[in-house]
Amino acid sequence: MGYSAQYYEIAFFGGSFTAIDRQYMIALLDAAKPFLLRFKGIRISTRPDYIDKNILSLLKSYGVTSIELGAQSMDNSVLELNERGHTEDDVINASRLIRNSGFSLGLQMMTGLYGATPETDIYTARRFIELRPDTVRVYPTVIMKNTALAQLYERGVYKPYSLDTSVDLCAKLILMFENANIQLIRLGLHYSDSLEQNSLGGNYHPAFKELCENKLFYDSFIEKTQGFSHKKVNVIINPKSISKFLGQKKSNIIKLQQSGYDIHISFDSSKSKYGLEVMQCV
């Protein structure tokens, strides 16, 4: 990676790093040691209930700089139903320890878990914001075949969010974190053939974040044009946001034109990523 490596981190993801065998964990950190000077630091993901002052001291001594917690929800009933093994208080306490120890804090949430509602997911996002993480990842729940959740789904006990419900919810979450100046570094699951072929419920989409951003702009447009006396309008956006406003396969602009809007688009590089100004044309 050469010179650019200084902008990247070594990452240990895909499990609970501090919950694995301690000697194995140290062996992995030892293996990363020779490369530390070439990279920005080390990022790990782990469980909220496997964080304490001793483990944080050990991680710091090996050059770990960022810790992400798989919180998933801040609703204790949802956590219990999904057998997460930790509580809301565990997330709060671990987050404070991490921040106070000088690490960058990341929080991960899953929307649409068993027992969750859009309201409990919004609650989770609000509680995350109160904890002031540096980064957030949001993963809509996807049911995989041959899992306990799949059994609940097949028995009719668990009903997943529809894709539309999930998109509508996560569009709101994007704005919540954006307005709180918290970086959303991932929304939706990475595409894989296995994921697409082995998921149930029909709510997985490989371009999920794009759908959410399209919905965000569509809703913002509708809200800002309420009360307009006519539908000939000028839209002002950041030039980098044009595809988000137009929608996937121009779905937004087609729907708006079908509703009678005559839209002229202007660009302003000073606008924020999700900024949208709409004015009636004289």
CATH code of the domain covering residue 237? 3.40.1260.20
pLDDT in tens, 184-212: 999 998 888 888 889 999 888 999 999 99
User: Concatenated DSSP letters for 22-36?
Assistant: HHHHHHHHHHHGGGG
Number of CB atoms found within 10 A of residue 273's CB: 12
User: From first to last of its 282 residues, what are the pLDDT tens digits of the chain?
Assistant: 445 567 789 999 988 999 999 999 999 999 999 999 899 999 999 999 999 999 999 999 999 999 999 999 999 999 999 999 999 999 999 999 999 999 999 999 999 999 999 999 999 999 999 999 999 999 999 999 999 999 999 999 999 999 999 999 999 999 999 999 999 999 998 888 888 889 999 888 999 999 999 999 999 999 999 999 999 999 999 999 999 999 999 999 999 999 999 999 999 999 999 999 999 987
Among the candidates 206, 226, 252, a domain finishes at: 206
- pLDDT (0 to 100) of residue 111: 98
CA distances from 148 to 50, 91, 143, 155, 195 (A): 24, 24, 9, 11, 16
Q: Per this entry, what is the length of the chain?
A: 282
Contact between residue 274 and residue 241 where contact means Cβ atoms under 8 Å apart: yes
In angstroms, the first-to-last Cα distance of the chain is 54
DSSP secondary structure of 235-282: EEE-GGGHHHHH-GGGHHHHHHHHTT-EEEEEE-TTS-TT-EEEEE--
CATH number of 77's domain: 3.20.20.70
Q: Verify that 11 and 130 share a domain, yes or no.
A: yes
pLDDT averaged over every residue in the chain: 95
Tell me which of 206, 236, 264 is where a domain ends.
206
CA distance 57 to 105: 15
Domain boundary among 140, 171, 206: 206
Q: 116: domain range?
A: 2-206
Question: Are 221 and 99 contained in the same domain?
Answer: no
pTM recorded for the entire structure: 0.92
